[in-house]
Structure 1
Amino acid sequence: MQFLIDFILHIDVHLANLVNSFGLWSYALMFLIILIETGVVVLPFLPGDSLLFAAGALSANANNILDAWILWIGFFIVSLIGDSLNYFIGRTIGQKLLNTKIGHFIKPEQIKETEKFYEKHGAIAIILARYMPIIRTLAPFVAATSNFPYLRFFKYSLIGTFSWASIAVWAGYFFGNIPFVRKHFTMIILAIIIVTILPAVIGFIKTRTKKTKN
């Protein structure tokens, strides 16, 4: 866990080392991380937002082999595939998975929070969830277990993944190499993490408060 935290907070350094070590294979590794984060429902804690931002920033460096267009299209496609994979896991073995040891990685309150998110926002929640760590991984799974029609889910997933990949990669590309941003990169990554998980944290606190009152 300590390694994961260090990797996320200093992702610019680790990503640069990854690219230097693996060259073009680093594309495959980054795409695999996003595919796992979005497609494997029991691993919702991988660094999606910060990875896309850092990769976009790195691609703006003239001395780097990464191409922003390849990153953008690649992240969009793998996150879309991951959403569908996650959905079909939920549709085929959803409840059974939750009852296994692997399912213990998913906390009941996380499922409930995602269900409430759906109840509050409706189908648009599939788009909004893309910007919220943990919930974005659980959203396709919960949609499937709630018998949400796949074609309708796919339509909103398409919009969500496209906008998410576009904003994250191009924000990194255009802003990641500004001197102030580079100097305070760790703090900015931390701010991105805090902003994206804040709604989930607030929701969790509200749920715990209601349970305490009851």
Structure 2
Amino acid sequence: MNGLLLALLTPLGPLALLLLMTVAFAETGLLAGFLLPADTLLVSAGVLVAAGALQLPVWLSLAAVILAAVAGNHVAYLVGRRLGARLENGHTSRFISAQRVDSARAMFDRHGAKAVVLSRFVPLVRTLTPVVAGVTGMDLRRFLGHSLAGATAWATLMFGGGYWLGAIPVVSAHLELIVLSTVGIPALPALAALLRRRLRCKLRGDQGVGVAV
């Protein structure tokens, strides 16, 4: 999915900023983090902007991505609040039980602010954390403040880090290779797990043949 989005970035020109904002929002606001992890996209966009392959104002882009990420968090929080109200009124959920809500509420009472900030740097976890914060009834102003802090640090590290990399002559001279690596590297753990599984199955098959003989 990210490979397709990256292919769209450069041809879009300034409109690429809308794509970055959409992904940053949808990752939490539409609970699409399982399909649209934005880290790779933001790093690659920063590299492309620094190398001059993508014409976007840096500070405006950074502010827009932060705003979109905070808005997505807020929507996910409201979804959690509504779900939490239903649970308190006696409705059940296949995904969240009353006991889990009580446990999550205790966790957020102790570590809520830290969880909201740090979860922004963990794909998938950042998609679910705002929902859990809403379910447990975390104070909205407290949530929004730490959501803003987390989104600011995340966007600065990802987009800003990509921009810093793109300004390095060696990186800008091998732009295509760098962008391809940002797409391929996250897939390496899954590929390694697949290879291990196949090797394990092959070894079991060979052992079975040896026993049969």
Q: What TM-score results when the alignment is normalised by the length of structure 2?
A: 0.68
* 2:121 aligned residue: 131
* 1:74 aligned residue: 64
1:117–1:125 CA contact under 8 A, matched in 2: no
Instruction: Tell me if 1:26 matches 2:16.
Output: yes
Instruction: Tell me if 1:142 matches 2:104.
Output: no
Letter of the structure 2 residue corresponding to residue 24 of structure 1: P
Instruction: Tell me if 1:153 matches 2:146.
Output: no
1:56–1:71 CA contact under 8 A, matched in 2: no
> Among the aligned pairs, what percent are the same residue?
29
Report how far residue 34 of structure 1 moved: 1.3
Unaligned regions of 5+ residues in structure 1, if any? 196-214
2:49–2:166 CA contact under 8 A, matched in 1: no
Q: Distance in 1 between matches of 2:125 and 2:182?
A: 22
Q: Distance in 1 between matches of 2:48 and 2:178?
A: 15
Deviation track 1:5-39 (CA, whole Å, cap 9, x = no partner) reads xxx3x46xx5354331x332222122112111121
Structure index of larger Rg: 2
Letter of the structure 1 residue corresponding to residue 9 of structure 2: L
Instruction: Tell me if 1:85 matches 2:75.
Output: yes
Letter of the structure 2 residue corresponding to residue 187 of structure 1: S
* 1:15 aligned residue: 6
Unaligned regions of 5+ residues in structure 2, if any? 190-213
2:43–2:162 CA contact under 8 A, matched in 1: yes
2:21–2:65 CA contact under 8 A, matched in 1: yes
Instruction: Tell me if 1:44 matches 2:44.
Output: no
Q: Equivalences for 1:167-178 in 2 at 5 Å? A: 167-176=157-166, 178=168
Q: Distance in 2 between matches of 1:92 and 1:185?
A: 40
What RMSD over aligned residues (CA atoms) do the two structures have, in Å?
A: 3.4
CA 17–144 in structure 1, closer or farther in 2 if over 3 Å, else same: closer
CA 122–174 in structure 1, closer or farther in 2 if over 3 Å, else same: same
Q: Distance in 2 between matches of 1:134 and 1:34?
A: 13
Q: Distance in 2 between matches of 1:72 and 1:189?
A: 21
1:127–1:157 CA contact under 8 A, matched in 2: yes
Deviation track 1:89-116 (CA, whole Å, cap 9, x = no partner) reads 111245769x99xx98xx77xxx7x949
Q: Distance in 1 between matches of 2:185 and 2:150?
A: 22
CA 118–194 in structure 1, closer or farther in 2 if over 3 Å, else same: farther
CA 188–18 in structure 1, closer or farther in 2 if over 3 Å, else same: closer
Deviation track 1:159-203 (CA, whole Å, cap 9, x = no partner) reads 1011111111110001146435743443344546779xxxxxxxx
CA 40–17 in structure 1, closer or farther in 2 if over 3 Å, else same: closer
SS at match of 2:51: coil
Number of aligned residue pairs: give it: 175
Report how far residue 122 of structure 1 moved: 3.7
Report how far residue 65 of structure 1 moved: 1.6
> Residue 180 of structure 2: which of 186, 189, 193 is its match?
186
> Residue 57 of structure 1: which of 44, 47, 62 is its match?
47
